[in-house]
Structure 1
C-alpha cells in the first residue's frame, strides 16, 4: 500500500461517537476499508476531504472528549503533515494532493506565488465539481492544506462566476441552453446583436469541446482501484523482464481425479482445486518461482500463498489462499470457494490481498486459448490457465481417440529465473496434472477414477439423447459417444455442427454401407471400399426427396454386385424408417 483515498466521513465534525462505531471509509490497494473509533468521544476536527489521497499513517482526524484540550494534538498533527510534504516538488497528479484544515492552509497558500491549479494541488472531488459547474481552476484560490483547491473553493468560485454570467448579454433561450449543456456563458463569444450570446453560440461552444466531432457517451474517472491496477501493471512492465512459455497437458486424469474427489468428500471439489495442489507440488520442486524480487533481492518463501485472480466490477484482484502446501484437498476446496465468494460479493479485506508468493489466472473460462499473463509484483511468476481443448490422440494400439487437453501460460521475470528453469517448472506441473492421484486424500478411490478414465466403451443400445441448453445448437449422447448438432445461420444457428436432418442422413448412409458390406461378406464377394452418399431436398424445411448412391470398389461381375446392393438396401434398418410417401431413390456404381 502506497496511498489511500478517503471515500466518505460517516459522522460530521462536532458529533459524538462511541468506541467501535464507523468514522470513515477508505479505499486502497483494491480494497474498501472501514475506520472505527478507538474510544468514545467527539469528532473535534478533520484533515481530509472525501476524494483526497494520502500515504499510510497520515493523520486524518482528531477524536477527543468535548471539553478536552487538543492544542498539543493539533500541533502534533500539523508537524506530521509538514514532515510528510516537506521538500516535495509539486506533482502533476491531482490524486496526490492532500487537503487539511483551512486555517493551516491559508498561510501556506499566501506564501507562494504559484497558483494551486498550476501546482496540481486540486483534490479529486474539487476537480470533479469544477467540471460539473464549469469552473476554470486557473485563478481559483485554494484554502486547503498548502493552498490545495478544495470542493468548497470551487463552489465559491462558481457562485462568483454565476454573478459574472448574469452580466453576460444572452437571450433567455441561450441561458436555458447553457444550463442544459453545462456551458459557462462568460466563456462564449456572442454573435448576436451587439455581441449578445445566442442559442446557436452556446451549442457551437458545447460542440467545440471535441474538435473531432465525437459524441461523449460517458466519462469514467481513472481513480480508485483502476488507478491502482494501472500503477501496478505499469510497475510490472517497467521493472520485470517478461517472458512467457506455453505447455499443454492431457487433462483426462485431472478431470477424473476431480470427479472422484467430488464423489468421496463432503465438499464440492472442482478441477481448479486439484490444480491448486498440483501447482503447489510444482513450486515445492522449483522454489525459485514461489518467490518475490525486491531491492535486488530474490526471496524464496516457504509458504505457498497462491493468489487466485478474480474479476470483480472494479477490476481484477487476486485474493490469496495461504499455506496451500499444508492443506488437504478438502480444505483447499472449501477455503478457495469462500475466498472467491467473498471477493465477488465485495466482502474481502486488505488481509485477503496481501502476502501472495505466486498467482494463477484463468481466462480459459472465457474461452481464451492462449495469453501472456502480467506478473503481479513483487512476485516473479504467474500461471495462466487456458480453455480446455479436445484433440484426437493416438492410443497404444494406434487407435485414435478424442481426449481433453489443458494449455498453460507461464510468465516469469527473466531477471530472476531463466527459460530453462521455467521449462522444468512446467514439465513438473504437467506430470502432476497428468498423474494427480497422489495429491488426493486416502478416502478418494483412485482406482475408481482410473477405471472411469479407461473404462470400456458403453454402447447406446438404441437409446440416444439430445440436449439443447440455448440457441439452436445442442449435443447428442449415445452411450460413451457424443457429437453436436446445429442449424445454419439463416435458420438462427451458428453452424457448429450438422443439422438434425444431416444427422439422420449420416445414419442412413452408415447403415447402407454396413448392410451392403454384410451381403458382400455373406457371399464371399471381393468388395473393397464402400462409399455411400445420401441427399435430401429441399435444402431447408420438410424433406420431400431422399436419394442414396452406393459406390463400390470391386472386380465382381455386374449381376453379383447388383444382387449385393439390392439386398443391402432392403436390409438397411434405417431406410425402413422412411415414411411410405417418401421412398428412397437408390442407385449404385463402381468406383
Structure 2
C-alpha cells in the first residue's frame, strides 16, 4: 500500500485492475487505492505475474502493508509468502490492539494455553488471541462469528457482539457469509428470519440489506459507505464544527468595476483574466490589512502567517478538496491567473498531489457558480476563517436625478472562528474587501488602462443625429457623437497636422456607410443572397469646394446583373445621406458665447 502523503494513516483498495495469475508489464496499473485525501494508481515495478493478492476491494490497511506479490512466472514465492503473512499478522494484531486500548495487553500463560486448545476445536478460524480468550469466557462458538478485522479475522469486539446478540448460539446453523453476518450486526437483522439467495440458499450481504430495508415499511434504495476521502472530509468538518465557534457575517459589493477591471486586464495582458482572478487579488490585499484572518489556530496558539496561501475549494468526484494557491501577495496578476487555472484543473483531472493541498492560510469557496444566493461555509481547520462567494445578481440602485439604475451585485459570506476574532473584526474585514472589489484598479498592473473602467461602466449612448465638433485651436479637433469620439484635421499645406480625416472625408465616410447599409437592407428585404459589401466614395477636386462625387460599390453575390442593378438603385434612393445631395434641406444657424 503506497504512502500518498505524510498525513496518510490508512489506504483503501478500491479495485484490482489485474486478475490474480495474469501477466503484466512494467508500468502497467495493477490496482487503484485511496487515502484520506486522494486516489492513486499502483503500477507494476517490473514485468511478471500477479501471483497473489491479499486484499479485497473495500479493505483498508496502513501504508507499507503488502497487498500483493508480483514475480516472474516460474519464481518460487514460498519464502516471500511466509514473510508477507507474518507482516499481515503483525498488522492484524496492531489493529486489534488499537480497537480497545483499555483491555489487558496480553493473555497470561494459562490463557494462552487455553487459547491454543480452543483453536484446535475451532479448526482454521482466523481470530486474534484476545478474541479466542474472550470467546472462552463468554462461551461463543468462533465458527459462527463473522470477523470484521483484517481479511475477515475475528476481533474481541466481534465476539462480544455475537454474545450480546446471541449470534453464537441462535443462528449457529444459518449458512451466511462473513460479510453478510457483519452487515446483519450493523443493521440489527436477525439472520434466522432471512431467506438466502446465494449458493445453496446461503445468506448474502444483499439479502441482509433487503431484509433491513423492508423491516419498517420503508424500501432502502441504496446504502453508501463513506470512502477514504469522504470519510476524511466528514471527520475534518465535524471536528471544525465541534471545536470552532462558527459565526458568519454577510455583505454585498457593487460588482460593475470588478467586471470592467477583468476585461481591461484581459485586453492589456492579452490573456484570459476573470473576475475570480481579480477577487483573489482583492482577498490578498484585504488579508494584508487584516493579518489576524490569515492565520491558523492549533494547540491554543493563534499563528499569523506572512504568506497569503489561499485555498480554493473545488468540487471533485470524491468530495471537496482545497488546492492551495501559494504566496499570492508576491505574485503578479498574470501569474495568479495562470496558476489558478492550473491548480483548479489539476484538481478536476485528479492529477494533483498532496503537496498541492497543504499550507493553506485562508480559503475561498464559491457556490455562486451553482446559483447559490447565500450560505454559511464551514471553516477548513486549522484555519480560522473562510470566505463564501455567492451568485451575482442585478438590483435596482438609486442613480442620478433619483432615477433607477440596474447594477450587478456580488454577495459575500465570511465565516470566522469567534474564539479568535470578533464580529467587529469581521465587519472591518468585509468593509476592506468590498472597497477593493468596488475600486479594484489600484490592484492591477501598470499596463492596465485605469480609464477603461469609466468607459466600460457607462451605458452606450447613441448620437440620435446630434454631433458636436470641438476645435480648441488650430486646424484640428474632435467630433463627439453620443458615446463615440474621433479626430478631424486638415493637411499640412492647409495648416493642419494630419492627425485625422478632413471634414469632407468624414462626410464621404458617412455617405459610403449609408450606401452600404441601405443596399444591405434592400438585399435582405428581397431575400437576395449577398455576402460582403464594400463602398468607396471619391470627391473631386482633391482640395477646395467639391464639384463631383463618385461612389464605387463592390458586392459579393451570385445574383444576376439585373438583380444587382435593382438593389444598387433602390439602395441609393433609400440612403438618407445620399438624399442630402439632391434635396434642398434647410439649415438654421445660430451662435452663442462660451
- Same topology, TM > 0.5: yes
- With over 3 angstroms needed to count, the CA separation of the structure-2 counterparts of 1:84 and 1:64, relative to structure 1, is farther
The 5 A counterparts of 1:318-357 are 318-357=322-361
Quote how far apart the aligned CAs of 1:392 are: 2.8
User: SS at the partner of 1:228?
Assistant: helix
Residue 77 in structure 1 maps to residue 81 in structure 2: no
TM-score by length of 2: 0.57
Unaligned runs of 5+ in 2: 1-7, 102-122, 155-164, 170-175, 184-192, 466-481, 484-594
The 5 A counterparts of 1:56-135 are 56-61=63-68, 66=75, 70=80, 73-74=83-84, 77-78=87-88, 81=91, 84-85=94-95, 87-89=97-99, 105=126, 108=129, 110=132, 112-113=134-135, 120-121=148-149
For the 8 Å contact 2:213–2:220, the answer to whether it is kept is no
1:458 is matched with: 461
Unaligned runs of 5+ in 1: 92-101, 127-136, 142-150, 159-167, 169-174, 188-202, 463-478, 481-591
Residue 449 in structure 1 maps to residue 459 in structure 2: no
2:411 is matched with: 407
* Residue-by-residue CA offset, 1:93-135 (whole Å, 9 max, x unaligned): xxxxxxxxx9994564655516696775387999xxxxxxxxx
Quote how far apart the aligned CAs of 1:429 are: 1.1
Mapped partners of 2:167, 2:253: distance in 1: 64
1:267 is matched with: 271
User: SS at the partner of 1:276?
Assistant: helix
The 5 A counterparts of 1:155-194 are 179=197
User: SS at the partner of 2:387?
Assistant: strand
Residue 51 in structure 1 maps to residue 58 in structure 2: yes
Quote how far apart the aligned CAs of 1:62 are: 5.7
Residue 436 in structure 1 maps to residue 440 in structure 2: yes
Mapped partners of 2:353, 2:124: distance in 1: 36
Quote how far apart the aligned CAs of 1:262 are: 1.9
Mapped partners of 1:104, 1:41: distance in 2: 33
The 5 A counterparts of 1:505-544 are none
Mapped partners of 1:330, 1:53: distance in 2: 43
TM-score by length of 1: 0.57
User: SS at the partner of 2:249?
Assistant: strand
* Residue-by-residue CA offset, 1:375-407 (whole Å, 9 max, x unaligned): 112221110011223223334665542222211
Residue 3 in structure 1 maps to residue 31 in structure 2: no
Mapped partners of 2:212, 2:82: distance in 1: 54
Residue 229 in structure 1 maps to residue 229 in structure 2: no
Quote how far apart the aligned CAs of 1:275 are: 0.4
For the 8 Å contact 2:177–2:202, the answer to whether it is kept is no
Quote how far apart the aligned CAs of 1:284 are: 2.1
- With over 3 angstroms needed to count, the CA separation of the structure-2 counterparts of 1:320 and 1:426, relative to structure 1, is same
User: SS at the partner of 2:451?
Assistant: helix
Q: 1:22 aligns with which of 4, 26, 29?
A: 29
Mapped partners of 1:442, 1:304: distance in 2: 22
Quote how far apart the aligned CAs of 1:61 are: 4.7
- With over 3 angstroms needed to count, the CA separation of the structure-2 counterparts of 1:412 and 1:3, relative to structure 1, is farther
2:214 is matched with: 210
User: SS at the partner of 1:352?
Assistant: helix
For the 8 Å contact 2:273–2:337, the answer to whether it is kept is yes
For the 8 Å contact 2:264–2:453, the answer to whether it is kept is yes
1:507 is matched with: none
Mapped partners of 2:452, 2:337: distance in 1: 21
2:431 is matched with: 427
Quote how far apart the aligned CAs of 1:409 are: 0.5
Residue 220 in structure 1 maps to residue 224 in structure 2: yes
- With over 3 angstroms needed to count, the CA separation of the structure-2 counterparts of 1:23 and 1:395, relative to structure 1, is same
Mapped partners of 1:295, 1:16: distance in 2: 51
Q: Which moved more, 1:264-273 or 1:11-20?
A: 11-20
Q: 1:300 aligns with which of 300, 304, 317?
A: 304
Mapped partners of 1:315, 1:140: distance in 2: 40
For the 8 Å contact 1:32–1:349, the answer to whether it is kept is no
* Residue-by-residue CA offset, 1:217-266 (whole Å, 9 max, x unaligned): 33333334333322222111111111111111121111110111122223
- With over 3 angstroms needed to count, the CA separation of the structure-2 counterparts of 1:186 and 1:399, relative to structure 1, is closer
For the 8 Å contact 2:32–2:39, the answer to whether it is kept is yes
- With over 3 angstroms needed to count, the CA separation of the structure-2 counterparts of 1:274 and 1:157, relative to structure 1, is closer
**Rg larger for:** 2
User: SS at the partner of 2:97?
Assistant: coil
Mapped partners of 1:2, 1:336: distance in 2: 30
- With over 3 angstroms needed to count, the CA separation of the structure-2 counterparts of 1:354 and 1:83, relative to structure 1, is farther
1:253 is matched with: 257
- With over 3 angstroms needed to count, the CA separation of the structure-2 counterparts of 1:107 and 1:22, relative to structure 1, is same
For the 8 Å contact 2:324–2:359, the answer to whether it is kept is yes
- With over 3 angstroms needed to count, the CA separation of the structure-2 counterparts of 1:47 and 1:414, relative to structure 1, is farther
* Residue-by-residue CA offset, 1:329-358 (whole Å, 9 max, x unaligned): 222222222332333344434333333222
1:467 is matched with: none
- Work out the number of aligned pairs and report it: 401
- With over 3 angstroms needed to count, the CA separation of the structure-2 counterparts of 1:186 and 1:236, relative to structure 1, is closer
1:391 is matched with: 395
For the 8 Å contact 2:49–2:70, the answer to whether it is kept is yes
User: SS at the partner of 1:348?
Assistant: coil
- With over 3 angstroms needed to count, the CA separation of the structure-2 counterparts of 1:206 and 1:448, relative to structure 1, is closer
